[in-house]
Amino acid sequence: MTSDKSDAVTRRRVFYIPGYDPIPPRRYRELYRKEGAKQAEVSGYDLTLSPKSGPRFGWQVVSQIDGQDCHSEIDVLVWSDIVQSSMDAGIFQTYLILLRTAWIYISTGALRGLMKLRRGPVLAALYPVAILLVQLFIAVLLAWGLFALLGLISQTLVFQGISGLAALALGYGVLRWFKKKDGKFFAYYLMHDYGFSARWRGAEPPELLERLKEFQTDIAQALTEDWDEVLVVGHSSGAHLGVSVLADLIRSGEVPEHRSDRGPKLAFLTLGQVVPMVSFLPEAKRLRRDLAFLSARNDLFWLDVSAPGDPCSFALCDPIKVSGVAPIDQKWPLVISAAFTQSLSPEVWAKLKRRFFRLHFQYLCAFDRPMGYDYFKITAGNQYLASAFKGYAPTPSRIDTPANPHKEMAE
């Protein structure tokens, strides 16, 4: 990313759409503060954060990069409350979600299609299923062992009844212990994540559709204000939400034509996307329509960044082509790699390479050997996203072979 003073951004509005995350948005500000300071030290620029007012949670960033100042305001578009509500399921309901989710992905052919892409995210999807079944097996085994042990004491009907209740209590207690420790296993969290989309077979739930309309209103308002660039960032599941928000925004005529003296440029950045996990489901007709629509627009610049080192994303998969909805005139996204094994030193990579969930957030963090991709330069620097990546070629190793068994799109 090189600086061009004739094409400088001095004021930028950023809207960040998180993935499926129940934690309130404050964590993203603290992550930006901590990792931004690291990147500034490595790359030799200045970043200063301060609070911002307004209905949305966010912060302001003043930067001096390549000798130029820039002011950015970053808002987190929150849907963590919807995530929290979807995770309220108890132990037994979670196992029912497991059965329903597995059945939907297998019976619809979605899983078979996904297995033609990256192995990592498919294994990540199977991980909570395997862990929850192992936990259930341990609970049943211990309960059976207790019942058998107590049976050696007495064979009376009353005592057998007491033994059965004690065994059930032990089994349930073991499952409760595993659920309480899910901060280490992430099995319940991931099961609810995949179950959230599978429940509606790829269609958006009504409460999420309403929230996306609110996001659209906020972005539309920013496009009428005095900004040089309005940048929408979608991370993980937030990527496909951003696709639908921006597609509706453009269809509604709320993206003004950019001119040098009026109107901000619109840019879209997707990070660690998991689009196929939804677009391969049968009722994801709206998403497939929005993917096809957005990929051919001149109203924005769309950059997609992922890395094969992130096993929780469909790294370097063109989300339009693999979903089987690429139009003839497809322009976007520009698919590039964050190249974790090159942009992180061997020492840092050795510490992170087995921390799969941490790697899924590396796009929002500092790199000690930065290459083309720098999250803080993109969100707080002095270049338009389109200018910074002008002339970039798509990563040659990207996957662009259609694998989706469902290609029907909404009208």
- pLDDT, position 119: 84
Does any domain span residue 405?
A: no
Give the CATH number of the domain where residue 256 resides. 3.40.50
Cα distance between residue 345 and residue 401, in whole Å? 32
Say if residue 259 is in the same domain as residue 342. Answer: yes
Say if residue 348 is in the same domain as residue 222. Answer: yes
pLDDT of 292 > 90? The answer is yes
Structural contact between residues 77 and 16, judged by C-beta atoms closer than 8 angstroms: yes
Cα distance between residue 148 and residue 129, in whole Å? 28
Say if residue 59 is in the same domain as residue 132. Answer: no
pLDDT of 3 > 60? The answer is no
- Out of 196, 231, 260, pick the residue that ends a domain: 196
- pLDDT, position 5: 41
Structural contact between residues 307 and 315, judged by C-beta atoms closer than 8 angstroms: yes
* Residue tagged 């996204």 (tokens): 333
- pLDDT, position 360: 95
Say if residue 165 is in the same domain as residue 38. Answer: no
Is pLDDT larger for residue 341 or for residue 155? 341
Say if residue 335 is in the same domain as residue 220. Answer: yes
Cα distance between residue 94 and residue 190, in whole Å? 11
- For 49-97, write each residue's pLDDT tens digit: 998 877 778 999 999 988 899 999 999 999 999 999 999 889 999 999 9
Say if residue 261 is in the same domain as residue 152. Answer: no
* Residue tagged 């996306």 (tokens): 212
At residue 303, φ and ψ (nearest 5 deg) are: -110, 130
Say if residue 37 is in the same domain as residue 54. Answer: yes
pTM value? 0.93
Cα distance between residue 71 and residue 9, in whole Å? 9
Structural domain that includes position 258: 9-82+212-388
Say if residue 168 is in the same domain as residue 19. Answer: no
Does any domain span residue 112?
A: yes
At residue 56, φ and ψ (nearest 5 deg) are: -100, 145
Does any domain span residue 397?
A: no
- For 332-371, write each residue's pLDDT tens digit: 999 999 999 999 999 999 999 888 889 999 999 999 999 9
In the chain, the amino acid numbered 204 is: E
Say if residue 241 is in the same domain as residue 185. Answer: no
Say if residue 131 is in the same domain as residue 174. Answer: yes
Does any domain span residue 400?
A: no
By percentage, how much of the chain surpasses pLDDT 70? Answer: 95
Work out how many domains the chain is built from and give that number.
2
- pLDDT, position 345: 95
pLDDT of 2 > 50? The answer is no
Say if residue 263 is in the same domain as residue 363. Answer: yes
DSSP H or E run through 341 = helix 340-343
Say if residue 41 is in the same domain as residue 54. Answer: yes
Does any domain span residue 401?
A: no
pLDDT of 157 > 80? The answer is no
